[in-house]
Amino acid sequence: KAGVTQTPRYLIKTRGQQVTLSCSPISGHRSVSWYQQTPGQGLQFLFEYFSETQRNKGNFPGRFSGRQFSNSRSEMNVSTLELGDSALYLCASSLGLAGVDETQYFGPGTRLLVL
Amino acid sequence: QQPVQSPQAVILREGEDAVINCSSSKALYSVHWYRQKHGEAPVFLMILLKGGEQKGHEKISASFNEKKQQSSLYLTASQLSYSGTYFCGTWDNYGQNFVFGPGTRLSVLP
Taking only the tens place, the pLDDT of each residue in B23-73 is 988 877 789 999 999 989 999 898 888 766 666 666 788 888 888 889 999
Interface test with A, best of B4, B45, B98 (most A CBs within 10 A): B98
Please identify among residues 53-82 of chain B the ones whose CB lies closer than 8 Å to any CB of chain A.
53, 55
Please give the Cα distance from A73 to A16 (Å, whole number): 26
Cβ <8 Å between A103 and B47: yes
Distance separating alpha carbons of residues B32 and A81, to the nearest angstrom: 31
Q: Which residues of A touch B47 (CB under 8 A)?
A: 101, 103
Q: Is B37 left (phi over 0), alpha (psi -120 to 50) or beta?
A: beta
Across the interface, whether the CB atoms of B97 and A108 are under 8 A apart is answered: no
Can you give the pLDDT at residue B65?
84
- Identify which of A10-19, A49-58, A90-99 has the greatest average pLDDT: A10-19
Neighbour-count burial of A115, counting CB atoms closer than 10 A to its CB (0-12 exposed, 13-18 middle, 19+ buried):
exposed
* pLDDT number for residue B55: 64
- pLDDT at residue B28, as a whole number: 76
Could you give the CA distance from residue A18 to residue B53 in angstroms, rounded to a whole number? 44
Interface residue of B1, B4, B97 to substitute, partner A, most A CBs within 10 Å: B97
Model confidence at A2, pLDDT cuts 50, 70, 90, reads: confident
Interchain proximity A59–B97, CB inside 8 Å = yes
CA triple A98-B74-B49, angle to 5 deg: 30
Across the interface, whether the CB atoms of B99 and A59 are under 8 A apart is answered no
**What's the gap in Å between the CA of A91 and the closest CA on chain B?**
9
Closest residue in A to B85 (Cα–Cα)? A42
Residues in CB range of A30: below 8 A, 6 or more apart: A50, A51, A72, A95, A96, A97
CB-based contacts of A73: which residues, under 8 Å, 6+ apart?
A22, A23, A24, A25, A32
Q: Which of B29, B97, B101 sits opposite A100 (nearest CB)?
A: B29
